[in-house]
Chain A
Amino acid sequence: MIEFFLSLLSVTFAVTFVRSTVPLLLTALGGLYSERSGVVNIALDGLIIFGALAGAVITKQLDAPLGAAAPWAGWLGGMLVGGFVAWIHAVLSIRYRADQVISGTAINLLATGVPPVVLTAIYNTSNESPAVEHALPLWGVGDFKFSPPVYFAVLMVLLTWYVIYRTPYGLRLRASGEHPGAASSMGVNVRRIRYSAVILSGVLAGTAGVFLSIGNLDAYVRNISAGAGFIALAALIFGQWKPLGVFAATLLFGFLQALSIKLGGGNLLPDTLVQALPYMITVLALIFTGRSRAPRAVGKPLD
């Protein structure tokens, strides 16, 4: 028992902790932009998968000509693809006033169908892409080495806080989500704000996917997100749609994920149930959040 708790203070655990937190953090920050602007983004999980797939495939294809620069191109590609798919969600929910939950679900369904089709077409395999030669580099000191998206994520927390609370864009974004009618009467182009916010959420979720595929691993594997998009959504709610709150919430969920990885393989609890721990905690966290203060106009199309 005591050994187990001591092992939680070790460097390897800290590294696992950071690695499980970063995808959640990036995705939740993406969701924050989208939802604060008034667009429910349940497509986050699908966006992660699209980002991961694009990152791995582009890196693999450019491995030979670009060498060590290939993963950076892959990252860029993952961001662009994530942004593009999010743009589809934006068009449906903003321009065609689609039900945003259904539209997001459609993107998630696409994310289960498109990867096998793409992988079969390019590599004749349906479950995973071949390993890339150059994954994203690891930066850091000693055993604390992480790929660049980790530092990017930390930077994004501060940047998001600044953008949301200290820039005109942030003010307009919040206004679009709280009271789009009032915002547009003051000359804010609510639709444009929402488009930009949803695309931004795709870019961030795509980055999370890139981190999973060529930051953590060196290939895309089936079901790579493992529901991270939905957990991030829960963290977004748990963090009350505030950048620092979301940061704290993702730290909690990341810790639980790392814990479940750590507990796995031991003889304390059955592995299978331990792996379900983050999901159970998510359900519990949502109970304690209760009827939270969501952006008032979230999910409602602007007439």
Chain B
Amino acid sequence: MLDSVPPAPAQPSLVAARLSLIFAVVALAGLFVFPYGTLSRNSDAQALLQRFPAGVINFTGAAFENQPSVASALAVGWATLAALILTVMAALRRSPWLWIAALLTLIVGVAGIILFNGSLGAATAELVAQGVRPRRIPWQSGGVHLGLFLPALAGLVGTFAGLSRYPAWWERLNRLRSLLVPVVAIALAIAVGAVVVLVVQPAPNALNRALSLGELFSGKLDVVWYVYTTLFAPISNLGGLFDSLKLATPLIFTGLGVAFAFRAGLFNIGGPGQLTLGGIFAMLVGIYVPLPAALLIPATVIAAAFGGALWGAIPGLLKARFGSSEVINTIMLNYIASAIFIFLLGANSFPFFGKTFGLPFKAGGSEAKSLEFPESARLSRISELLSFSRGGETLFSLGPVLALLTFAALYFGLRRVRARLWIALGAGLIVGAATWRTVGVPVTGTFGASLLNTSFLIALAGAVLVGVLLWRTATGYALRAVGLSPAAAEYGGISVGKNTILAMTLSGALMGLASTHYTIGGALDEYRLKTNMPVNVGFDGIAVALMGQNTPAGVVAAAVLFGTVDTGGVTVDRVLDKVNKDIVTVLKALIVLFIAAGGFLSRRVTDAPPPELEKAAGHGASSPPPTTPPSTPLPNLGAHLNTQSLKADDGEDIGAKEDSSQGGKS
């Protein structure tokens, strides 16, 4: 277990040393046991694998001529080996220079990765020069594998673990403590997911024979590596990034919705229903209210929020007035909302005590869908906003990037200026506006076809608003007070009932806004309200909120991560026959499960040590107070039992700090 007291300056703490040791030993063994790099992979995920120190494994069944020479990367492998051995020795002896050895490993490891990719790139360039079409070049699909990746990772971990012996670095790392539970939860989920993949998916190979044990081992490892690299790959190219952000947009809304309710001590599992109602209201206003374009879009967005708010307010009201559980009520309202949706859009008429009445909403065809939203109600595509043409060439605008850079430079550069937020914001906006249609880079790829639309910007604005409301206003203070301790809040003059209704209403409004992405945002190819609207993003919002520690910035980051994995999941599903894209759903559920368990970490690890303990403790030997409960129950147990079953997470003060430091970033 990690000691929460600062380590002695002389050597890294025991935990830091052990952590680096584990990573270094696995990387060391992995260098020889795991595949080193992927030379090529065909569309069925069958790979041509490079081993260290030499040799290739060919699962593709095809013969490759002129394999690219990766001699330089293999040579660096020996240097990696030496650096790893050095790290292992340093970790075993807890030497003060552990971080230097680890840093060396990191540098050599990264060099190996660069050289390997460089060799593949050179081979590709050679073939391009010969006039081979890019799609037919096998080396483009290559990349690093576990053998190259793990040393770099071990180097990274070892560097920070070694550096943690310096108080300044310990302080820095300590500030990241709140990330510990989500990171460990992801790691555990990935491990369990890997086992699932190992069990269900045979090694993809085109060899018509039984694999030898060694081949089987490499093949199985390769398929796990393939699944995870594919899941996280979309973020590495522009088209994939846009697709990831497209899937992340509704998750930002629903994550914010769940997090908002969480902060007030409520659990809103009603996302699907609130989203559906938001969609229905957006339809009613967007299609049937004749307004000019300038008003129609805001009116439709507000209608979507109103629909969700209505569906959220009901369980809030029932909880406040009758004390009935919002958990069960929100779930029941999900089913009711889905019934209303089918009722309105499933048919053009309905029977009522023998008579038949007409309904105007359903468009023609067998599928349940609404009429099309008029042009004036549609949100624009971000790819259209960001691309402009000059001299017949399509350019991707760098305006937002430059604006963000300007903002960050000024915000962090002007530490002593009081109004730095506003100065940075203003300068960022000016730079962005000036460069929006002027500075750009030519792009290849498919980002132009992306369905990412401006509801993404609404989502980001929502994140900022939630942050401001919760941590900068009296209303937010009251909401959080109710979440932390309803009894204390009531005693302090805050109405628990009123705030319960308010929290559920606003939470529902955020959920309802997610529907703008699918209706007037056209994320489902058509500008209609359709049955294939994936309302389950309302449930995914739970995972997003928990991953993001119920902070706006965290929710946005978690949503982008999940959006990426969702995008990659589609590829995995298509390529591998035995792995379903719902493996991503399983991963999300596991993340929720492991976060609920606090990553199986002790409180001593996850919570920052109290300051007086840090001061008092000179070195790691002083014993921290026992926090694990004694095995025999004590007579005064009742006193401890008086905790709320659904209190906001323990990262309360961390969240507040995070918001003040990153308020402008989200």
Binding site for B on A (CB under 8 A): 40, 42, 88, 92, 96, 98-103, 105-107, 109-110, 112-114, 116-117, 119-121, 124, 126, 179-182, 184-185, 190, 227, 230-231, 233-234, 237, 266-270, 272-273, 275-276, 279-280, 282-283, 286-287, 289-292, 297-300, 302-303
Choice from A103, A105, A276 contacting B339 with Cβ under 8 Å: A276
Please encode chain B, from 351 to 363, with 1 for each CB lying within 8 Å of some chain A CB and 0 for all others: 1111010000000
Interface string of B556-599 (1 = CB under 8 A from A): 00000000000000000000011110111111111011011110
CB <8 Å contact, B588 and A109: yes
Contacts of B605 in A (CB 8 A): none
CA distance A293 to B578 in the complex (A): 48
A270 touches B350 (CB 8 A): yes
**Which of B351, B354, B633, B643 has most A Cβ within 10 Å?**
B633
Asked if B343 and A124 sit within 8 Å, CB to CB, the answer is: no
In the assembled complex, the Cα of A114 lies from the Cα of B633 at a distance in Å of 38
Contact A270 B641 (CB under 8 A): no
A117/B580 in contact, CB under 8 A = yes
Q: Which A residues touch B269, using CB under 8 A?
A: 105
Q: Does B477 contact A (CB under 8 A)?
A: no
- Assess the B327–A42 pair: CB atoms within 8 A: yes
CA distance A289 to B351 in the complex (A): 33
A180–B641 CB distance below 8 A? yes
B323 in contact with A290 (CB, 8 Å): yes
Q: Is the CB of B583 within 8 A of A113?
A: yes
- Give the residue name and chain of the B residue nearest to A296 (CB): B641
Expressed in whole angstroms, the Cα–Cα distance for A227 and B200 within the complex equals: 29
Known: A110-B593, A113-B582, A113-B585. A267 touches B200 (CB 8 A): no
**Choice from A184, A291, A297 contacting B323 with Cβ under 8 Å:** A291
In the complex, which of the residues B201, B327, B579, B589 contacts A113, with contact meaning CB atoms closer than 8 Å? B589
Given contacts A110-B590, A273-B339, contact A117 B598 (CB under 8 A): no
The yes or no answer to B52 lying at the interface (CB within 8 A) is no
A-B contact pairs, 25 of them (CB 8 A): A88-B593, A92-B593, A92-B597, A99-B596, A102-B267, A102-B596, A105-B542, A109-B543, A109-B585, A113-B583, A117-B582, A121-B201, A121-B580, A185-B637, A237-B325, A268-B351, A268-B354, A269-B353, A275-B339, A280-B336, A286-B328, A287-B322, A297-B641, A298-B645, A300-B645
- Complex: how many Å from CA A185 to CA B636? 9
Of A116, A117, A269, the most chain B CB neighbours within 10 A belong to A117
Most buried by A among B342, B579, B635, B637: B637
A300 with B597, Cβ < 8 A, contacts A109-B589, A116-B580 known: no
Please give me the residue from chain B that is nearest to A182 by CB atom: B638
Contacts of A291 in B (CB 8 A): 322-323
Contact of A121 among B325, B335, B578, B587 (CB under 8 A): B578
Once the chains bind, are B637 and A181 in contact (CB under 8 Å)? yes
A297–B543 Cα distance when bound, in Å, is 27
Q: Is the CB of B329 within 8 A of A179?
A: no
Residues of chain B within 8 A (CB-CB) of A101 are 267, 327, 645-646
* Cβ–Cβ < 8 Å partners of B645 in chain A: 40, 99-101, 298-300
- Spell out B's residues near A (CB within 8 Å): 196, 199-201, 267, 269, 318, 322-325, 327-329, 331-333, 335-336, 339-340, 342-343, 346, 350-354, 356, 536, 539, 542-543, 546, 577-580, 582-590, 592-593, 595-598, 600, 629, 633, 635-638, 640-641, 643, 645-646
A289→B328 CA distance, assembly (Å): 13
Docked Cα-Cα span, A121 to B573, in Å, equals: 12
Residue contact B336 to A276, C-beta cutoff 8 Å:
yes
Other CB < 8 Å A-B pairs besides A124-B578, A230-B331, A299-B645, 10 of them?
A92-B593, A92-B596, A96-B598, A96-B600, A102-B542, A112-B536, A117-B583, A280-B332, A286-B325, A287-B324
CA distance A144 to B301 in the complex (A): 54
The 8 Å CB contact of B329, one of A126, A267, A283, is A283
User: Which residue of B has the minimal Cβ distance to A226?
Assistant: B335
Of B325, B597, B633, the residue contacting A185 (CB under 8 A) is B633
Contact between A234 and B328, CB atoms less than 8 A apart: yes
Q: Please indicate the chain A residues that have their CB under 8 angstroms from the CB of B587 in the complex.
A: 113
CB distance from A273 to the nearest CB of B (A): 5
State which of B332, B542, B546, B638 has its C-beta within 8 Å of the C-beta of A283: B332
Contact indicator A283/B318 (Cβ below 8 Å): yes
Which partner residue on chain B sits nearest A122 by CB separation? Answer: B200
Among residues of A, the one whose C-beta sits closest to the C-beta of B599 is: A96
A234 pairs with B593, CB closer than 8 A: no
Distance, CA A277 to CA B49, complexed state (A) = 58
Query: How many Å lie between the Cα of A245 and that of B329 in the bound state?
Result: 20
CA distance A188 to B574 in the complex (A): 54
Q: Which residue from chain A places its CB closest to the CB of B193 in the assembled complex?
A: A117
Q: In whole angstroms, what is the CA distance A181 to B637 when docked?
A: 5
A101: nearest residue on chain B (CB-CB)? B267
Judging by beta carbons under 8 Å apart, are A276 and B318 in contact?
no
Residues on B with C-beta less than 8 A from A303 are 629, 633, 637, 640-641
Which of B318, B582, B641 contacts A116 (CB under 8 A)? B582
Which 6 pairs show the lowest CB-CB distances between chains A and B? A113-B585, A299-B645, A276-B339, A181-B637, A109-B589, A121-B200
Query: In the bound complex, how far is the Cα of B198 from the Cα of A156, in angstroms?
Result: 40
Closest to A103 in B: B596
Give the residue of B325, B327, B328, B643 whose beta carbon is less than 8 angstroms from that of A300: B643
* Assembled-state Cα–Cα distance A196/B632 (Å): 19
Give A275 to B342 CA distance when docked, in angstroms: 11
In the complex, chain A residues whose CB is within 8 Å of the CB of B579: 117, 120-121
B638 touches which of A103, A113, A181 (Cβ 8 Å): A181
User: CB-CB < 8 A to A282: which residues of B?
Assistant: 328, 332
- What are the residues of chain B within 8 A of A112 when measuring CB–CB? 536, 539, 582, 585, 589
Contacting residues, chain A, for B322 (C-beta < 8 A):
286-287, 290-291
A234, B637: Cβ atoms closer than 8 Å = no
- The complex places the Cα of A96 from the Cα of B324 at a distance, in Å, of 27
Q: Give the CA-CA distance A182 to B333 in the complex, in Å.
A: 39
In the complex, chain A residues whose CB is within 8 Å of the CB of B536: 112
CB neighbours (8 Å) of A126 from chain B are 580, 582
Tell me the complex Cα distance, A267–B353, Å: 6
Assuming the A-B contacts A98-B597, A120-B580, A180-B641, are A113 and B328 also in contact, with contact meaning beta carbons closer than 8 angstroms in the complex?
no
Complex Cα distance, B641 from A273, in Å, reads 43
Partner of A270, one of B351, B578, B590: B351
The CA of A229 and the CA of B50, in the complex, are separated in Å by 51
* Distance of A161 from chain B, by nearest CB (Å): 24
User: How far does the Cβ of B516 sit from chain A's closest Cβ, in whole Å?
Assistant: 25
A185 and B635 contact, Cβ closer than 8 Å, known pairs A112-B536, A272-B346, A280-B336 = yes
- Measured between alpha carbons, how far is A182 from B636 in the docked complex, in Å? 9
Counting chain A CB atoms within 10 Å of each CB, which of B199, B340, B354, B597 scores highest? B597
Specify which chain A residues have a CB less than 8 angstroms from the CB of B318 in the assembled complex.
283, 286-287
- Contact across chains for A270 and B592 when beta carbons are under 8 A apart: no
Q: Is the CB of B328 within 8 A of A230?
A: yes
Minimum distance in angstroms from B80 CB to a CB of chain A:
36
CB distance from B541 to the nearest CB of A (A): 11
CB B344 to nearest CB in A, in angstroms, measures 9
Q: Determine whether the beta carbon of A96 is less than 8 Å from that of B351.
A: no
* Other-chain contact of B196, A117, A124, A287 (Cβ < 8 Å): A117
- Contact present for B598 and A120 (CB under 8 Å): no
Compute how far the CA of A126 lies from the CA of B577 in the bound complex, rounded to whole angstroms. 11
Tell me the complex Cα distance, A275–B350, Å: 14
Given known A-B contacts A112-B585, A267-B354, A300 and B335 have beta carbons under 8 A apart: no
Which of A121, A184, A230, A290 is B332 in contact with, Cβ under 8 Å?
Answer: A230
CA distance A302 to B342 in the complex (A): 45
Residue of A nearest to B586 (CB): A113
- B593 pairs with A103, CB closer than 8 A: yes
Judge whether A302 and B637 touch: CB under 8 Å: yes
With A96-B597, A106-B589, A269-B352 already in contact, the answer to whether A227 and B638 are too (CB < 8 A) is: no
